[in-house]
Structure 1
């Protein structure tokens, strides 16, 4: 996708919702950001002839006719009949909701509306809201997967820590196992990585550290024993003993930035009803919000990424079969 299609428009929630009320403006926004590509003509995948786009029906229809011999041995003209909606294989395909409704939902989600607020504003069922929240988080997950780079390097500091998400009610009764998350933050840039882990063993954490932190980085951590090997793995390792100090008096080492990261995540992800196998998607949503803290930037960036995950040109010019 050409990421220079739009140089970086900014919308408030009010202005974005207003744009959604105007079909022409919304269509132009989606075209400019690469989410849809309503070319005037595509090549029909059925007969390989030009297939025209009909604005009124928002579909490509092939009216090409050919002469065939019917069962009565008569020569008759037969229309190709290929029909394809412009939504096919885009972010909007497979849904009975209108493009306008879906864009409004995405806008509410981007500014941080929670489950009940989304249901109230959209008047959608709980299941539909849950599905579309999942679709949006999947886009965030692909952003993290494809656009996150290792942290640190010579002269850079990365703080690392583990946190467990899950709790016991009033510290008694049935223990909720929860989910361990291992992560780090680069002090200079505030870039982060966050990875769900099954355990905090040296083998598990070291593998992730090598994947996400560049050699010769100064790594700061607490005194968890799994980190004791870092000096032998190409890192400069500074520790702080939290049972004695928040900041090491000799080296100045601390992990206050990564601990703040955990507080932010706890505030941002669902406290109840969350599933451990979805945790990576909760983290991806938090990562996107963290990367674009201003709401006015999120509309442009998210729809640009939607186009990257669901590129419309590939399907509209090379689609197969008939779709309504």
Structure 2
């Protein structure tokens, strides 16, 4: 457990008192998740200092100059804005999200974090928006490129199909929803770290897959795939391409090439999406794929783990 996670557990565990609530607000202000100064709309002098009233659940701030009746929530412009969930429960939810714990409504209700699926859906959506925005910034800054001398790349396509609960229900209509996801996995040669690139595609044709490979894979990289015909053009684009015939064996007898890294990753990714019911719509599936990328690209590289990176990205997206 990281130092940040221990601090968070110390602040949120136990009885929720006014003193503890005030301490939590100060801690969030230090992390730049809550504002230290709030602007009064009726004052001409910009940001003003405030007095904190924690007797109410939202923690109101009052103008100390002339407008005594003017008050704003301490949550104004933050990720907690317009939410009735307490800060304690919000942070407990963030902790569970970053630790990869189960986020089912039943579990949340048992722990007292939320009492309805609607609240849980809104909280999860805000967290996903933070992760998606962070990945968009990464793409603009670096292009999200993989490969090179330190990595080899395994590529594959997988069908993310909507599953019926317990195998029951109508087979027609909504139960036929399925999407092809094209995955590129950059695998470091000296350790087990991986960098996934996951994209929704309409078809598995060369016209759909090769441009994605050319955009994300560095020239001269080693690429391993099955013998799908859409990949036959890769050597002409400057890549070292090894294939394995899955109808014969899972490991090529001559080169030793295999795609087990990405095959194993598909199982993990599908379990995450299925557990969070992330395949109900195309937009929702795309967001969940971005969250998986965020966990591997950004969360694992931060000094304080996924939680530290989440706080960093919240402060980037919500300018308080």
Alignment TM class, shorter chain as reference: 0.7 to 0.9
Q: 1:307 and 1:202 mapped to 2: Cα distance?
A: 40
Q: 2:224 and 2:61 mapped to 1: Cα distance?
A: 58
Work out the number of aligned pairs and report it.
289
Q: 2:249 and 2:224 mapped to 1: Cα distance?
A: 14
SS of the residue corresponding to residue 237 of structure 1 reads strand
* Contact 2:146 2:216 (C-alpha < 8 Å) held by counterparts: yes
Q: Return 192-201 or 25-34, whichever deviates more.
A: 25-34
1:117 equivalenced with 2:112 (yes/no): no
With structure 2 as the length reference, what TM-score do the two structures score?
A: 0.79
Q: 1:8 and 1:196 mapped to 2: Cα distance?
A: 37
Q: Give matches, 1:75-224, under 5 Å.
A: 82-111=70-99, 112-115=101-104, 116-121=106-111, 122-147=113-138, 149-154=144-149, 156-166=151-161, 174=172, 176-188=176-188, 189-224=193-228
Distance 1:28 1:211, change over 3 A: farther
Structure number with the bigger relative contact order (C-alpha 8 A, sep ≥ 6) is: 1
1:245 equivalenced with 2:249 (yes/no): yes
Structure 2: gaps of 5 or more residues: none
SS of the residue corresponding to residue 184 of structure 2 reads strand
SS of the residue corresponding to residue 9 of structure 1 reads helix
Match of 1:305 in 2: 313
Q: Give matches, 1:265-280, under 5 Å.
A: 265-270=269-274, 274-280=280-286
1:179-229 per-residue CA deviation (whole Å, 9 max, x = no partner) reads 111111112141111111111111111121122211111111111111111
Q: 1:177 and 1:254 mapped to 2: Cα distance?
A: 30
Q: 2:203 and 2:32 mapped to 1: Cα distance?
A: 41
With structure 1 as the length reference, what TM-score do the two structures score?
A: 0.78
RMSD: 3.0
Distance 1:146 1:119, change over 3 A: farther
User: Shift of the alpha carbon at 1:268?
Assistant: 1.3
Q: Give matches, 1:40-55, under 5 Å.
A: 44-49=40-45, 51-55=48-52
* Contact 1:156 1:186 (C-alpha < 8 Å) held by counterparts: yes
Distance 1:253 1:229, change over 3 A: same
Distance 1:15 1:298, change over 3 A: farther
Distance 1:94 1:302, change over 3 A: same
User: Shift of the alpha carbon at 1:61?
Assistant: 3.5
* Contact 2:51 2:64 (C-alpha < 8 Å) held by counterparts: no
Structure with greater Cα Rg: 1
* Contact 1:269 1:286 (C-alpha < 8 Å) held by counterparts: no
User: Shift of the alpha carbon at 1:60?
Assistant: 4.3
* Contact 1:51 1:60 (C-alpha < 8 Å) held by counterparts: no
User: Shift of the alpha carbon at 1:282?
Assistant: 1.5
Alignment equivalent of 1:25, drawn from 23, 26, 29: 23
